[in-house]
Amino acid sequence: MKKKDIPIGAVTKMTGITSHTLRKWESRYSLVIPERTDTGRRMYDSEDITRLVAVRELVNQGFLPSRLSKMTTKELQEIIRREQPNAGTLVRKGVINVIGPVLSSQFRQHPASPNIVINEHHGTVDDWLKSPQNTNDSTILECPSVSNRLVADILTQKFIEPTLITIVYGFSSRQSIRRLRNAGITCLQAPIQVTDLIETEHYQSTPPKRRYTDNQISELLTLVPSIECECPNHIGQLLIGLNAFEKYSQECENAKPSDQALHSYLIELTGQARGLMEKAADRVVEAEGISFQMES
């Protein structure tokens, strides 16, 4: 029988289940049965993590723990698949490498998508760095803690394409996360839903730099178009709104460190939307023969 070696602190961090709730689920319903060390510490394994993630998902949907305790993990996962039949449709076609035992367990219980292939690697990030595989595919790294050494090891690897990497971390200094993000690596603090990770992979490229100034957008807003529609004006209005929300999310990211992962995600997503609308503005500028100087 495989030895359980995941401490309760890691379990609560990666599943989002508090230690108080976990103790209640164990004592009242025997949802999982941890092993205890000689000093009395409770230890878990990846199968426990898989089961707990499934239970948490179903409890959040209104299922009673007492009912779930009578089901196998496979039965719990089947309910999730029925309740969320389209959960995998957000994934773009391709391959995602998942590095780490906890994240691998979470992905294993997630409904499979025909558009994606998940490669699970149960070793640590250090193991993966020594022998990387499929480095041209999107890769999600499980990092319980992010040390300066780990940051250096990741950033000095020539085989890594930063925009293909997503790091899910437990603890880290702001400086370490800033260095990784500046390199183009997406950093998200655990706990996080698999569907959030999938969306992150879908919109993983770095948002483009802003190319239209406020004055240029104002010109689009006041333009009397030669074509018989108000598309240039509407595009200007959309750009104003996207620029404002992008700035607002950046301010929220700095003001609320506890929600940093969420606001980082919103910034990236809004930046992608802004970039698409700037391409639409390019077409309008060309069609209308506008001569203002574009920013590089």
| Mean per-residue pLDDT of the chain | 78
- Encode pLDDT of 227-247 as tens digits: 567 777 888 889 999 989 888
* Contact criterion met (CB below 8 Å) for 106 and 56: no
Tokens of 241: 């709104």
Task: List, for residues 174-224, the tens digit of each pLDDT value.
Answer: 889 888 888 878 888 888 777 667 655 544 445 667 878 888 888 878 776
Per-residue model confidence as pLDDT tens digits over 110-137: 655 555 677 888 788 888 888 766 566 7
